[in-house]
Amino acid sequence: MKKIFAIILSAMLLLSMTACGGGGEKEAETIKVGILGPHTGELAVYGLAVRYGAEMYFKQVNDAGGVNGKMIEVVNYDDQGDATMAVTGFTSLVDDGIVALVGEVTTGNCRAVVDEAYPINMPMVTASATATSITYDEETKTVFKNVFRTCFIDAYQGSKMADFASKELGAKKAAVLYLSGDDYTQGLAEAFEAQCKEMGVEVVAKEAFSKGDKDFNAQLTTIMAANPDVVFLPNYYEDDGMIVTQARALGIKCTLLGGDGWAGIEKYASAADLAGCYYASAYAAGSTAELKAFEEAFVAAYGEDYLNMFAATAYDAAMVVVEGLKAAEAKGAKAGEEDYKQAVIDGIDQNAGNVKGITSPSGYKFDEYNNPEKDVVIMTIKDVEGVPTPTYHMNY
């Protein structure tokens, strides 16, 4: 009895699916793009930032005449931040006939969606999931070629800071002091070291410390003896604040560099000690004219509550998606067919360099692991009447 019931149910499901598919073909005038994320619940502030940021760009494209004369139709799905619902939502969006997806928002849920999206080669661009596992499965050595992102992975800042130190600061010798046993800090330290080697910068000292350490004088003295031009501190602001203070007290006068873990460091070290240091960041509000224009338009449309970094990277994600759609349309592929999805993916792969993103005016390039090579915001700290003030330095 149960079996028969199950067969009937699945038959009905199949029918409804084909019905949906048929509906999609009838409305061939629009291109459907899905946005998946937590639009309610405690993660809504990120989910809605992504949704509104992406919607805003799609709307602008439509206002300008769409892609190849076709309007983009956004299909939203609220997964409430739950991994199971994210997968259900993705399936439902696919049934709705989407050709590309913006999302998911959090790393864990995004990974769950990737598992579903990779087998059907659905192009997806996430604006916020930073883990390496989103585009690369270490166990099976698989690169998920259909998955892109517009936020950089953590370790990327390490190599960018090495570039910056070498090209902009003219550093010849660098030192690193990092927290061992932490993926974030270790990843940044390794990327920095690798890029230094690439740029011909000698890493004269690489020192570590353990979680909870407060005294860094021994390591800093070793670093000081090696006489580096820059010291890279890829740790969190509380530790780095203490390290900066101790380094200056010891007499280390060279430029100190950090990653985005430095955000908030101004509360943990003095202006005199921090002045002239640089750190990487993903986003600096109002730093460029394009970003300012975006922020004003965003606030006018959706209010201030959801204006954060992810709104900006989602706006860029939508740009990347549209770049892919343009390529697919130019090829004359038909929505709903395998060719179309592949054309979108190829389009993103080849043309994302043309995307003048608001968080990356120099465009997007995706490496062999499909991680983006994009601009990093370099922040510097200025001594404004004794108050350490993080200030936008440049897009790099």
Partner 1 sequence: MSTLSLIIKQIINALQLGSIFALIALGYSMVYGIIRLLNFAHCDIIMVGAYISWYFMTNFANMPYLAVAAAIFGCTLLGVAIEKVAYTPLRGSPRISLLITAIGVSYLLENTAQLWLGAAAKSVPPFFKVTTLSFMGLSVSTTSVVTIAVVTVSMTALTLLVQKTKMGRAMRAVSEDSQTAQLMGTNINATISFTFAIGSALAGIGSVLYCCAYNQASPTMGSMLGLKAFVAAVLGGIGSIPGAIVGGFVIGLTEVFVSSIGLSTWKDAVVFLILIIVLLVKPTGLLGKQVNEKV
Which residues here bind partner 1, judged by CB under 8 A? 180-181, 207-210, 212-215, 217-219, 221-222, 224-225, 227, 238, 241-242, 245-246, 248-251, 267-270
Distance CA 284, CA 377 (A): 7
Distance of closest approach, residue 372 Cβ to partner 1, in angstroms: 32
Kindly list the distances between the CA atom of residue 61 and the CA atoms of 58, 66, 73, 298, 349, in Å, as whole numbers in the listed order. Answer: 5, 5, 11, 15, 20
Distance CA 324, CA 134 (A): 20
Q: Which is nearer to partner 1, 179 or 317 (CB)?
A: 179
Q: Is the previous residue joined to 238 through a cis bond, with omega within 30 degrees of 0?
A: no
DSSP 344: H
Distance of closest approach, residue 275 Cβ to partner 1, in angstroms: 15
| Joined tokens for residue 296 | 């004003």
Q: Which is nearer to partner 1, 167 or 253 (CB)?
A: 253
Distance of closest approach, residue 157 Cβ to partner 1, in angstroms: 23
Q: Which is nearer to partner 1, 104 or 260 (CB)?
A: 260
Q: Which is nearer to partner 1, 25 or 238 (CB)?
A: 238
Q: Which is nearer to partner 1, 215 or 338 (CB)?
A: 215
Q: Is 304 in a helix, a strand, or coil? A: coil
Distance of closest approach, residue 224 Cβ to partner 1, in angstroms: 7
Report phi then psi at 321, rounded to 5: -60, -45
Distance CA 64, CA 194 (A): 44
Q: Which is nearer to partner 1, 140 or 210 (CB)?
A: 210
Distance of closest approach, residue 276 Cβ to partner 1, in angstroms: 17
- Number of helices (H) and strands (E) in the chain: give both, helices first: 12, 16
The strand pair at 230-233 and 142-143 is best described as: unpaired
212 Rama sector, left if φ>0, alpha if ψ -120 to 50, beta otherwise:
left
Distance of closest approach, residue 206 Cβ to partner 1, in angstroms: 9
Distance of closest approach, residue 204 Cβ to partner 1, in angstroms: 12
Q: Which is nearer to partner 1, 269 or 352 (CB)?
A: 269
Would you list the DSSP string of 123-156? -EEESS---GGGTEETTTTEE-TTEEESSPPTTH
